[in-house]
Amino acid sequence: MSTFAALMKPLEIKGVRLPNRIVFPPTVTNYADAEGKVTERLIRYYREIARHGVGLTVVGATAIARAGNLFPLCSRIDGDEYLEGLSRLFSAIREAGSVPAVQLAHAGRQTSQKMTGEQPVAPSPIPCPVWKDLPRELSAPEIEKVEDDFAEGTRKAKLAGAAMVELHGAHGYLINQFLSPNSNHRTDHYGGSLENRARFARNILHKTRARVGSDYPIICRISAEEFMEGGLTLSETREIAALLVENGVDIISVSAGVAASRPLRDQYMKQGRFWELAGEIKQAIPRTPVIAVGKILDLATAEKVMESQGVELIAICRALIADPEMVTKSLEGKADEIIRCIECGNCTASLVKDDLTMQCSVNAGL
């Protein structure tokens, strides 16, 4: 029986002690209510994940503004009315033995007027091939307001009890849209060169640090490759990762792809390409912890990826949705009792069906 010693080793980030190297990454569940407030179902979901050996539990896809809603029933953090529910959620995660964090996001063009009540916004008026709504180009003052919203969201998250935040700079959402030459065709100081395209992210970090101080841990999730013509490639995202670290990011979470490249993204994920991308980003920021992700369905694979790619943290998602007890069962030598993810994709497909909430084909208890 393996003890998975490398995975079980604690890690400290700016005074926050993670009991092990396993991360439950941010996921879209649609378990919030119609106003974006935390529900008992959302608390139950994360508590169950957190109480079975996960070191860091990241609450997913929390919008910093109504216009930034990623999905119809995603949680929000743009008003004080959301803090009580978020505080209960973070407390539940902490009491279950895991460290609570929250991902802050703005959908940008990857949403719809039907969902937000207004025309989507973006760096440039270029529609997402999947969502199709024509977005309105943000003015410079509007961009500054969104930067402020991210910073204020982080302040509120800290106030509510999140031990750290993750800025969603991946998967084609607004921060990613500014970084990418595919979606950012601006000619002002927010567009053109990589330095200019990264200005939005850099300003968010500076404004955030002004509100929460230098000792509060910040994660940033990036797409190391967009897998689409004219999009970000590894050569640029290595530079982006280093720039983010220089401007106050403490952990880089490495994913890949955007909404429009999902079929190719899923193909590369199955082939282990995401793991290699995490290793490549790690080489660009050798002194900064990196989270690897991508169809890591058991602890043996998790430890293999951590060791082969030189990363510090491993995100396990679908395997824990299928069986929240996967980690403890593995550690106790009960691997034969694990309910395995069957890789059917229902956890994502269900978000646009029936009642819109996340479902799992092998876990009816969600």
Q: What is the DSSP string of 19-79?
A: SSSEEE-------S-TTS---HHHHHHHHHHHTTT-SEEEEEEEESSGGG-SSTT--B-SS
Distance CA 272, CA 98 (A): 27
- The DSSP line for 131-148 is T-PPPEEPPHHHHHHHHH
Say if residues 54 and 320 touch (Cβ distance below 8 Å). yes
- Residue 1, Cβ density class (10 Å: 0-12 exposed, 13-18 middle, ≥19 buried): exposed
Report the C-alpha gap between 74 and 173 in whole angstroms. 14
C-alpha–C-alpha distance, residues 21 and 352, integer Å: 32
* Pairing status of strand 16-18 against strand 11-13: antiparallel
Q: How far apart are CA 40 and CA 73, in angstroms?
A: 14
Residue 359 belongs to what H/E stretch?
none
Verify whether residue 216 is a known catalytic residue: no
Given 31, 46, 82, 173, which residue is catalytic? 173
Question: Would you state the structure tokens that stand for residue 254, as one six-digit string?
Answer: 């490495």
Q: What is the DSSP string of 42-53?
A: HHHHHHHHHTTT
Note whether 285 and 242 are within 8 A (CB).
yes
User: How does DSSP assign 85-135, residue by residue?
Assistant: HHHHHHHHHHHTTSEEEEEEE--TTSS-HHHHSS--EESSS---TTT-PPP
Residue-level length of the chain = 366
Are the beta carbons of 291 and 311 closer than 8 angstroms?
yes
List residues with catalytic annotation. 173
